[in-house]
Chain A
Amino acid sequence: MSTATTAGARAHARAQGGTVVECMPTIPAGDGLSWAETVPGGGYAGKRLARGTTLRLTDLYGDACVSVLLFNADEPWERLNVADTVKVLWQAYIGEGHLLLSDQGRVLASVTAGAQDRSDTFCGTSTLTSNTDRYGDGSPHGMTPAGRELFTLAAAKHGLTRRDLPPCISFFQGVRVGDDGACTWLGSAGAGAIVELRAEMPLIVLLANAPHPLDPREAYTCTPARIEARPGLPTAPTDALWSRTPEGERALLNTADYLTARGIA
């Protein structure tokens, strides 16, 4: 097909429509979903999500490592605080039943499914510097993108900059800490593992899928992750999770207090 003329170029462009690849958004999402997308290894995604939405992440082939950042969609300077998330709830290994806390003493999201031994709150994601040392490059345009570079791009599309990128939580690849403080990489639970996060307030969610910083494999190894978000209801006082811990209950009460004052409870 000649692209020497406008008409030819237009026909050439339009002939590409409908192409299906593995890593792409599904639009419309269908099946009652509000977001459906497959993110490649070395890829990123972001979305504003309504309160109550359940975001399901699936490690399709067993080598995904999805790093997550969460922001209050209305005031994005309120954002995930990993230190408070582990300290306030007295638990570093994040799984089903944990609450992901902001720096304002509120709950951004609850974890409604996910293996506690296949998440990481310690090591964050890779940088241009670390991936250049490790793989020879960490640029988004290269073959071995760094997680922080991917987050920088995802953030920019919501008006956010590097200043807005705090430490993240990563899912699917586990880390254990010994008595001496040493971190041991556990690898993944294998293909088909899922994590579900429920938005407890309107969120901006940023996801970066890049190899875990402690992944010892020489080659940049990261496989696609599936995203499926479904509208739903936030945690209610009648749910067991609401009163699972006194700290968590106060966090959910603070969240309800904030949303009530804001007029969107």
Chain B
Amino acid sequence: MTATAAPALVAGRIVLDETVAARAPWSAIVRRGQVLTIVDLYGNQAVDCLLYNAEDTSERYSAPDTIAAQGGIFLTTGSVLRSSEGRALMRVVGDEVGRHDTVGGACSRESNTLRYGQHTKHQHACVENFLIEGARWGLGKRDLVSNINWYMNVPVDPDGSLGIVDGISAPGLRVALRAEMDVLVLISNCPQINNPCNGFDPTPVRMIVTEE
């Protein structure tokens, strides 16, 4: 596999361009009006994402408010990523994949023991990344809520059956998010190896912030 050298999805002056190692956390404040482009460098890499109002982190991303306001569970171009107070944190302004998940949540050591068995207890997980990276900003366990999973594919069957299935992303595909207020973006580059969310092979992703 080779990484695709993809530029930002929305043209602008680059203020940040970083690669997040496989399995690693990442965070940054994206100022109002700036655009964050996430690049799935190697394809089908779940990027777990939480958003906070940078001025008051008690206001944070809300999956149900986002779903209820748009009347659907998939995130794509036009989706407004809403807060626990119903306000717009970010807006999806570009998407080369088609749909992303916000139902499946983040993997954790604890939920891995239920999903796969106690032998997975000491495997790294997204909640570990959220906790250690969040701690840098004064956030703790109480601040973690249902998140966004960029590039993850979670269909709901007619009978309500739901699960993480093979992804529909590919190397180099991008999603772009415009900040509607100053937003703290907390990322876990998902380390899961027990289901198809990362193609059973966690890989790096690229984060580019641009502004006009």
Contacts and interface: CB of A to CB of B under 8 A. Distances in A.
Partners in one complex: yes
Interface in A74-114: 77, 81-84, 86-88, 90-93, 101, 103-106
B113 A105 contact: yes
B17 interface: no
B156 A124 contact: no
Contacts of A81: 105, 111, 146
Which size bracket describes the interface of A in this complex?
35 or more
B114 A166 contact: no
A127 B103 CA distance: 19
A163 B111 contact: no
Given A122-B73, A177-B73, A83 B106 contact: yes
A84 B117 CA distance: 15
Contacts of B147: 83
A167 B110 contact: no
B77 interface: no
B171 interface: no
B71 A104 contact: no
Interface residues of B, number: 49
Contacts of B156: 92, 177, 181
A78 B133 CA distance: 19
A230 B141 CA distance: 32
B114 A92 contact: no
A91 B157 CA distance: 9
A83 B141 CA distance: 16
A82 B73 contact: no
Contacts of A161: 58
A148 interface: yes
Given A105-B110, A127-B86, A183 B73 contact: yes
Of the listed residues A92, A168, A251, the one surrounded by the most CB atoms of chain B closer than 10 A to its CB is A92
A137 interface: no
A182 B155 CA distance: 11
A105 B84 contact: no
A12 B162 CA distance: 59
Given A86-B103, A130-B69, A163 B74 contact: no
B160 A91 contact: yes
Contacts of B59: 162
B65 A247 contact: no
Contacts of A177: 72-73, 156
A43 to B, nearest CB: 20
A255 to B, nearest CB: 11
B86 A128 contact: yes
Nearest to B57: A163
Contact of A167 (B58, B118, B143, B145): B145
A87 B99 CA distance: 18
B67 interface: yes
Interface of A: 77, 81-84, 86-88, 90-93, 101, 103-106, 116, 122-130, 148, 161-168, 177, 179-183, 213-214, 247, 250-251, 254
8 contacts: A81-B105, A81-B146, A83-B103, A84-B111, A105-B108, A130-B68, A166-B146, A254-B114
